[in-house]
Amino acid sequence: MNLNNVEYLCSATSPSDYPRHSLPEIALAGRSNVGKSSLINQLVNRNKFAHISSKPGKTQTLNFYNIDDVFSFVDLPGYGFARVPDEVKDNWAAMIEEYLFHRSNLAGVILIVDSRHKPTDDDLMMYEWLLEMQLSHLVVGTKVDKLSNSQLKPNREQIFNKLRIESQTPFTYFSAKKGTGKNEVWNFIKEITS
Ligand code: GTP
Ligand code: MG
């Protein structure tokens, strides 16, 4: 992968809009505004490839990207944003569920949590879905540039405790700002797409 050929494919709200390709897909899941789109941009070395929100809840569709014809990123709508009507929330959950439970291209999921805070009940539900479906996954604690060195160990423990993660589960801290953890995320992607 030389990342010379990265392109936006399409946005979808239902399976009939999903791209018809045979690429393995890596989905990015996480709360609204956690940094899903920023993680994609950092990985492909672009500033404005995946759309970054100024307001939480911006990504309300599944957005598909082709990465060098090797795999496809799927930026999922962020969950857990409080200031939207319940019917919109239900709609998001249904969209995410439909994709995760039925998409045969799905090869793995990167679950992104905010490293500064305790994961939410929504994060736990998402993590439990991944286990239930036995999907390959990587948990990423993002925005680590905002943590002091002394917070690294306790905050990691907070994430592991809330999600009830087994110690052998792959985890990495990440910063879309500084590029921390980029190699770890790429290693996970390469492992499941090769
Ligand atoms: P939705 O599409 O609304 O679900 O949001 P998202 O998860 O795609 O988040 P997005 O990438 O749009 O980032 C949200 C905000 O967090 C933006 O202001 C980013 O600049 C900021 N942000 C994302 N990642 C990092 C990071 O690693 N460090 C810092 N300091 N800020 C970050
Ligand atoms: Mg986004």
> pLDDT for 95-145, tens place per residue?
999 999 999 999 999 999 999 999 999 999 999 999 999 999 999 999 999
CATH class of 6-193: alpha beta
Three-state SS for 131?
helix
Q: Tell me how far apart the alpha carbons of residues 91 and 39 are, in angstroms, rounded to a whole number.
A: 24
Residue found under tokens 């962020």: 78
- Report the residue among 52, 62, 89, 144 best suited for mutation to probe ligand 1: largest number of ligand atoms under 8 A from its CB: 52
The angle, 0 to 180 degrees and rounded to 10, between the axes of the packed helices 182-193 and 36-43 is 80
pLDDT 10s digits, 27-47:
999 998 899 999 999 999 998
Q: Tell me how far apart the alpha carbons of residues 97 and 118 are, in angstroms, rounded to a whole number.
A: 23
Q: Tell me, in angstroms, the distance from the centre of ligand 1 to residue 175's CA.
A: 10
Looking at residue 51, its pLDDT comes to: 77
Q: Tell me, in angstroms, the distance from the centre of ligand 2 to residue 51's CA.
A: 6
Task: Name residues contacting ligand 1 (CB within 6 A).
Answer: 30, 32-38, 52-53, 56-59, 78, 142-143, 145-146, 175-177
Query: Residue 91's pLDDT band (boundaries 50, 70, 90)?
Result: confident
Q: Tell me how far apart the alpha carbons of residues 134 and 37 are, in angstroms, rounded to a whole number.
A: 24
Sorted by where each begins, the domain ranges of the chain are 6-193
Looking at residue 47, its pLDDT comes to: 87
Three-state SS for 31?
strand
Q: What is the dihedral of CA 129, 131, 133, 139, to 10 degrees?
A: 80
Residues at Cβ < 5 Å from ligand 2 ion: 36-37, 59
Q: What is the pTM of this model?
A: 0.94
Residue 89 has pLDDT above 90, yes or no: no
